[in-house]
Amino acid sequence: MSQPSQFAVFGHPVAHSLSPRIHQAFAQQSGIALEYRAIDATPEAFAAAVRGFFAAGGAGANITLPHKGAAFALADERSEAATRAGSANVLSPLPGGRLAAHNTDGAGLLRDLTERHGADLRGRDALLLGAGGAARSAAWALLDAGVETLTIVNRTPETADALADAIGEPARVHTRYWDDLANLGSYDLILNATSAGVLGGGLNLPMSLVGARASCYDLAYGAAAVGFIAWATAAGARHAWDGLGMLVEQAAEAFALWHGTRPDTEPVYQSLRDG
């Protein structure tokens, strides 16, 4: 009897990850036998841990903080989405011990926003808070979805400028200084891609950013998103969503890459939402 295929998520820390639960649920739904575990690897040990996993027959790996950039650098081939983001959240084995990098974060974000929440992103004036790996994926995805303008604000302005330069659409993509947030006017789509909530900090955002029918979205979920969601609600946002759906949808994109079938995400999302 053949052994189930081996999958894992690499992070540091990683014990909190919902990925094992999500992929086991997808596998059960799809009738696929697999084993999926969480592997805690420090940045110094990450490359060796990943190579060891795949050398032992690993069939696929998800990558979470703080290793997405390292996963991109480790790969021998990279998808367009990974290349644009400069980071990878999925690694797949290639012949000869080589690795392919993918990034499903942007696709997961769009599916959650447009299919689960019914958001029409076309023509929106969007504000993106943050310019790190998650923000890079979000920026490209929003432009692909047809936002009218994208304003990127980051505490380190050079990082925001680098992202805008990489996109190369100065008529649509602008950067502003964090200290100028109170003077930027209002937006009808605001995304929080900073690590403030994850690190337990606050953003202290002006409520004037929220337009009359604005939708606000935090790429984090659970406790990490509470502060931003509370701010958006208090500021009168029409919608305020966290990133749990994005987590499920990016996992489904990875599952489809590995298994050739895309699972039904809604039951898994509702199960996680219900706790």
Per domain, the residue ranges of the chain are: 5-103+247-273, 106-242
68 an active-site residue? yes
Q: What is the mean pLDDT of residues 226-254?
A: 97
Q: Per-residue pLDDT for 202 more than 80?
A: no
Taking residues 53-69, what's their average pLDDT? 96
- pLDDT over 60 (residue 200): no
Q: What is the mean pLDDT of residues 41-65?
A: 97
- 216: helix, strand or coil: strand
**Domains 5-103+247-273 and 106-242 alike in fold:** yes
Q: Which of 23, 34, 61, 68 is catalytic?
A: 68
Contact of 91 with 114, CB cutoff 8 Å: no
Tell me the residue length of the chain: 275
pLDDT digits (tens, 9 = 90+) for 188-198: 999 999 987 56
Is residue 60 predicted with pLDDT exceeding 90? yes
Provide the mean pLDDT of the chain: 95
Alpha helices by DSSP H, listed for 63-222, are 68-74, 80-85, 105-110, 133-144, 157-167
| pLDDT average, residue stretch 193-205 | 75
CA 116 to chain CA centroid, Å, is: 16
Q: Is the pLDDT of residue 203 over 90?
A: no
Of the two residues 3 and 103, the one the predictor is more confident about is 103
pLDDT tens for each residue of 71-100: 999 999 999 999 999 999 999 999 999 999
Q: Which of 77, 67, 55 is nearest to 6 (CA)?
A: 55
Full-model pTM: 0.95
pLDDT at 3: 85
pLDDT tens digit string along 26-37? Answer: 999 999 999 999
Q: Residues 6 or more apart from 16 whose CB is under 8 A from it?
A: none
What pLDDT does 176 receive?
97
User: So what's the architecture of 5-103+247-273 in CATH?
Assistant: 3-Layer(aba) Sandwich (3.40)
**Residue whose pair of structure tokens reads 């999925």 in the numeric block:** 90
3-state secondary structure of 69: helix
The SS3 of residue 162 is helix
Task: Check if CATH label 1.20.1290.10 holds for domain 106-242.
Answer: no
